């Protein structure tokens, strides 16, 4: 694993929205992968606590089944855990054999926990090296646009992650906001007016701070 860009990262860090995602090169079930190779595409980068566990298996099955949907959003999938590459390969082969689902997106080996620490994926209160269910949506320029954490005992919602990626893309493309529960095709909302002049431009009967707009 090339950890040049992660030198000096000894403890979990607190990455924030719009931070540049820490670069890395590592071994994976699809060969060597680098964060830089995803430049120009969206990336859903996520960690899981351990191979051969029930909740993680359910997530990988769901993500694999949704991979084509993410692909239509120009979004790749990239997983990580601190288990060895050999464990990853054995687990993914067993998923295919037991459930008929072939996992084709890369799963990174991070036995040294260098990447997990750089992304703050290790729970400081944990009694072992298992990573939390951390998910980072990274944009085509390599910036973190969303961070979602689940505890080890609760599985993620793949449908919500799909919605999240599409909401981020739509909001950026349309220069608008996505309200609660937004789904593709729903109305967007304009940014709230920030001056008296802007507020005065609202149509009669329309709220100056909540103005809908069709995408």
Catalytic residues: 56
Other Cβ atoms less than 10 A from the Cβ of 60: the count is 22
CA angle 28, 33, 34 (to 5 degrees): 140
- Cα separation of the two ends of the chain: 43
- Cα 104 to Cα 97: distance, rounded to the nearest angstrom: 14
Query: What backbone torsions phi and psi does residue 170 show, to the nearest 5 degrees?
Result: -65, -45
The distance between the two most distant Cα atoms of the chain, rounded to a whole number of Å, is: 65
């Amino acid at each position: 694993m090339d950890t040049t860009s992660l030198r000096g990262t000894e403890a979990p860090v607190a990455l924030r929205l719009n931070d540049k995602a820490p670069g890395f090169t590592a071994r994976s079930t699809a060969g060597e992968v680098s964060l830089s190779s995803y430049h120009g595409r969206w990336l859903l980068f996520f960690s899981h606590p351990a191979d051969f566990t029930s909740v993680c298996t359910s997530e990988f099955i769901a993500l694999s089944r949704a991979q084509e949907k993410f692909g239509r959003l120009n979004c790749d999938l990239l997983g990580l855990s601190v288990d060895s590459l050999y464990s990853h390969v054995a687990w993914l082969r067993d998923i295919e054999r037991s459930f008929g689902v072939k996992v084709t997106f890369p799963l990174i080996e991070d036995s040294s926990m260098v990447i997990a620490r750089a992304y703050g994926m290790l729970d400081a209160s944990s009694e072992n090296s298992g990573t939390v269910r951390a998910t980072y949506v990274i944009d085509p320029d390599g910036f973190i646009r969303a961070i979602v954490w689940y505890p080890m005992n609760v599985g993620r919602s793949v449908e919500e992650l799909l919605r999240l990626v599409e909401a981020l893309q739509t909001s950026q493309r349309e220069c608008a906001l996505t309200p609660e529960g937004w789904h593709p095709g729903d109305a967007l909302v304009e940014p709230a007016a920030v001056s008296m002049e802007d507020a005065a431009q609202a149509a009669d009967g329309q709220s100056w701070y909540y103005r809908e707009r069709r995408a």
